[in-house]
Amino acid sequence: MMPALAVLLLLTACSSEPELPPREKPPAGGQLDYQLGGAYQPDVPVKIVVRDRSKIVDGRRYNICYLNALQTQPTGANGGLDWWRQNHDDLLVKKPNGEVAIDPEWGEGILDISTGEKRNRILEIQKKWIKDCKTSMFKGVEPDNLDSYRRAEGAFDLNATKEFMKAFVQYAHEQGLAVAQKNAAELGSAGKKEIGFDFAITEDCQAQGQCGSYAEVFGDDFFQIEYTDEGFRKSCADRGGRVSVIRRDRNIVPYGHEDYVYEVCPPSV
């Protein structure tokens, strides 16, 4: 029999861990609208809306707050490339010639998470953004660019990404926010089991042959954005009606723009 003192110490240790507030995941299979290029009124059936952290939520739907976790923010002075250069230049990955390493597709600087000290400093900056998401009534967070290690000039690897995201997700959970794994199928089961992601948002997983990886880890708790007609049609045939699948234009422009594309899978016959 365990001594009474040992039992008391064990109970004290267990109860000392802070209890996380409840968090709500987006409804599995719920129709998604991905509005990163600008906010607009979604179609009536839409249940989930993803918007930039600077935008106002849609009060009638589940809202997901988008922010760059591993690169500079796409727009705005607070968190943009110039802001990081002026305030935290040493937290940007540099090339051998001293220039900032840039994501060539979006023109965003890569944040340097190569050491524990730098990861802590970057997260302290982002904690305010995460908290702002909660204050603005978002229910979930989408931290983007988990694949930045591929563009980091060798400064850090996937393991550093995992360590940073563990702390990021823990803090978001402490705020009562669910957190999405954005792409990065190479994380495998670690995305959910080690890091703690609650669901996934994927881009072109059909075209890249990766949808099965997300389904294996998250079941139906992943949301597909396809940018090609072929990938969209195949996704609808494979899992439409069970997993949320939408077709969007590559630049995710807002409704009313001449390049705007938004489709959902047709009803199952």
pLDDT digits (tens, 9 = 90+) for 17-52: 679 999 999 999 999 999 999 999 999 999 999 999
pLDDT of residue 8: 41
Predicted confidence band of residue 78 (pLDDT cuts 50, 70, 90):
confident
Cα separation, 223 vs 30, in Å, equals: 9
Cα separation, 139 vs 58, in Å, equals: 11
**Short-list 67, 97, 72, 96, CA closest to 86:** 72
Rg (CA), the chain: 20
Higher pLDDT, 215 or 8: 215
Q: What is the pTM of this model?
A: 0.92
Residue ranges and CATH numbers for the domains of the chain are 26-69+112-264 (3.20.20.70)
Range list of H helices, the chain:
4-15, 81-87, 116-135, 158-174, 190, 211-218, 229-239
Helix (H) or strand (E) holding 244: strand 244-248
Angle between helical axes of 229-239 and 211-218 (0-180°, round to 10): 40
Least confident of 51-60, 66-75, 203-212, 227-236: 66-75
Reduced to 3 states (helix: H, G, I; strand: E, B; else coil), residue 35 is: coil
CA-based angle 70:74:80, to the nearest 5?
A: 80
Cα separation, 146 vs 131, in Å, equals: 20
pLDDT of residue 3: 55
Across 14-110, where does the E strand assignment appear?
32-34, 48-52, 62-68, 102-103, 108-109
